[in-house]
Structure 1
Amino acid sequence: MKIELRSVSGRHPAASTAAAPALQPLELKVEAGEQLAVIGPSGAGKTTLLHLLACALAPAAGSLELDGRDPWRLSSRQRQQLRGQLFLAPQVPPLPPRQRVVTAVLAGRLPRIGLWHALRSLFYPTGIAQADAALARFDLADKLFARVDRLSGGERQRVGLARALLSQARLVLVDEPLSALDPARASQALATLTQWARDSGATLVATLHDVPLALQHFPRIVGLREGRLAFDLPPAAVTPALLAELYAHEQAALEPAPADAAPVAPRPVVMHCR
């Protein structure tokens, strides 16, 4: 799916309408089948960008086109049909705790099947072999019939990614999919996801905090800072100097205070009794 943003700005889904846009006027084009990683410090506008692309959030200004169509100029029914071609994987997958993993993974097909089939699959799942194959790609085949609330945080994230493989979406949007994974699992998960996108021809946009993994697995890196585009480059052109500038404020906040700095007086603790 082709993406084109023209001077698009947007507010974070949780922000009030009076708040300044988290994403400033942004120009971005992504060809169908491309894969790009969006990096940048916390609060840079990465999640807001994904919600705009998922048609979950209308632009505050500018225009967004998906395959040449502005979602917000379509009828509600047409926009819902368009959303059926998208898949958004949030950082914390919305998996019902008492649900079986097989049902959670098969839910990736819901936009493509009818209501009756969806209700029936809650009690008599069909497509178990496909769910098992998707889980196996993330080393989770042994969890096929486990309950979601018996999984670790990292296993839940991988179940969310396995669900994406069954979605047959033309645009896959993944928000920080590695936060609960160890380095080896994170690299394997990204390798699986990007290979699947290449095989299926889907466009893949992922926000990542792990910069080395983004540079290793994605052919295009977009840097956001304070809601603005800092750079849009192939990984070989993303230099340490560019990264230092991109994360300058975040690094400054993490730096220890100088040894000769004056001590900061502790704030008084106020206790309220009920």
Structure 2
Amino acid sequence: MNLELHAVQARHPAAPAGASALRGLSLSLSAGEQVAVIGPSGAGKTTLLQVAAAALKPAAGTLRLDGADAWALRTAALQRLRGRLFLAPQTPPLPPRQRVVTAVLAGRLPAWSLATSLRSLFYPADTGAAHTALERFGLAEKLFSRVDRLSGGERQRVGLARALLSPATLWLVDEPLSALDPTRAVQAVTALKAMARERGATVMVTMHQVDMALAHFDRIVGLRDGRLAFDLPTAQVSREHLLQLYAEHEDELTGPAAAQPADMTPTPVVMHCR
């Protein structure tokens, strides 16, 4: 799916009136692209995903998905369009007493009839597919566990596994690695990208882990104060770009970008004893 945002201005629902999270933002993704969005806290990353998912109507500007102006569509057409989108929040909204198999199969709800959806609550429609999706994230043994028995990182991976069963062609994933250790983080982002390639899905992922974004994505979008700071191939993202992006937020930088450059090595202090 192609995504185009033009001069979008939007406010996060929890923000005070008049406070814009996105300020005249323009951005486009071609079908099948995989893009990481980085930036300091409060940059507008989550709001960007909500707008792209047609879940939050912008105050100004346009959202086009495969050429269609999303908010100019009639209600039924907009609902059908949303069925082609998958938005994964940082904290998946999983009912605590639900079985993992049911939570994962919920990814198929946009493609199911009401009767199939209700029946699957009691008799899961395709446990094999759910097992395969969980296996990609190292959670196959949790298939029939209850959600409230999972750790935070396991819940996050269950939320990602939903994408693999979704009919969506645009995946919008918010901070998918925040509760994962480094090994699980690599496994999760690798699985997500591989499955998106197999499906031909477009992917936009917001990430706090700058080093992971640089290591696993070919295109990086830098967002600061609701504005586009840069949009570059990963190979062209310099340390200077990152330092400017995270100015006054250097503690949020991770990996080599946060390291002190060689020419700034502190001068050793020579002490003379008497």
With the length of structure 1 as denominator, give the TM-score of the two structures.
0.90
Cα distance between partner residues in 2 of 1:113 and 1:223: 37
Q: Which residue of 1 aligns with 2:52?
A: 53
Deviation string, structure 1 residues 183-239 (Cα, Å, up to 9, x no partner) = 111011000000111110000000000011111111110000011100001111111
Which residue is equivalent to 2:262?
Answer: none
**Secondary structure, aligned partner of 1:248:** coil
SS in 1 for 2:68: coil
Q: CA–CA distance in 1 between the matches of 2:236 and 2:188?
A: 24
Indicate the SS of the match to 1:36. strand
The secondary structure found in structure 1 opposite 2:92 is: coil
SS where residue 63 of structure 1 aligns? strand
Matched to 2:91, the amino acid is: V
The Cα shift of 1:245 comes to 0.7
Q: Which amino acid aligns with 1:169?
A: A
Gaps of 5+ in 2: 254-274
Question: Matches of 2:225 and 2:210 in 1, distance apart?
Answer: 18
Per mean C-alpha deviation after superposition, the further-off stretch among 5-14 and 87-96 is: 5-14
Q: 4+ runs of 1 displaced by more than 3 Å?
A: none
Do the aligned partners of 1:138 and 1:192 also contact (CA within 8 Å) in 2? yes
Post-superposition offset of 1:156: 0.3
Describe how 1:185-200 pairs up with structure 2 within 5 A.
185-200=184-199
| CA distance 1:90–1:252, change in 2 (3 Å) | closer
Which residue is 1:248 aligned to? 247
SS at match of 1:173: strand
Is residue 125 of structure 2 the alignment partner of residue 126 of structure 1? Answer: yes
Q: In the alignment, what sits opposite 2:12?
A: 12
Please state how far the C-alpha of 1:64 moved relative to its aligned partner: 1.0
- Aligned residue-pair number: 253
TM-score (norm 2): 0.90
> Distance between the aligned counterparts of 2:100 and 2:129, measured in 1?
13
Distance in 2, Cα, partners of 1:155 & 1:19? 37
Give the structure 1 partner of residue 224 of structure 2: 225
Contact map agreement 2:136 2:191 (CA 8 A) in 1: yes
Aligned ranges for residues 156-235 of structure 1 at < 5 Å?
156-235=155-234
Look up the SS of the partner of 2:47 in the other structure.
helix
Q: 8 Å contact 2:45–2:206 — kept in the other structure?
A: yes
Alignment match, 1:272: none
Superimposed CA distance per residue, residues 46-82 of structure 1 (whole angstroms, 9 cap, x where no aligned partner): 0010000110111111111000011110011110000
Secondary structure at the residue paired with 1:249? coil
RMSD over equivalenced CA pairs, Å: 1.2
Q: Is the 8 A contact 1:173 1:205 kept in 2?
A: yes
8 Å Cα contact 1:21-1:60 kept in structure 2:
no
**Do the aligned partners of 2:90 and 2:156 also contact (CA within 8 Å) in 1?**
yes
CA contact (8 A) 1:7 1:61 kept: yes
Contact 2:168–2:201 (8 Å) recurs in 1: yes
| Residues 126, 78 of structure 1: alpha-carbon distance in 2 compared, 3 angstrom cutoff | same
Alpha-carbon separation, structure 2, partners of 1:131 and 1:24: 40
Contact 2:110 2:167 in 1 (8 A): no
Separation in structure 2 between the aligned mates of residue 22 and residue 108 of structure 1, nearest angstrom = 28
| AA partner of residue 8 (structure 1) | V
Amino acid at match of 1:11: R
Q: Within 2, Cα distance between the matches of 1:25 and 1:102?
A: 41
Contact 1:106 1:131 survives alignment (8 Å): yes
Gaps of 5+ in 1: 255-274
How far apart in 2 are the matches of 1:100 and 1:253? 35
Partner of 1:265: none
Change (3 A) 1:139 1:215: same
Question: What SS does the aligned partner of 1:62 have?
Answer: strand
Is the alpha carbon distance of 1:252 and 1:32 closer, same or farther for their aligned partners in structure 2, counting shifts above 3 Å?
Answer: closer
Partner Cα distance (1:161, 1:27) in 2: 27
Deviation at 1:13, TM superposition (A): 2.1
- The one-letter code sitting in structure 2 at the alignment partner of 1:52 is V
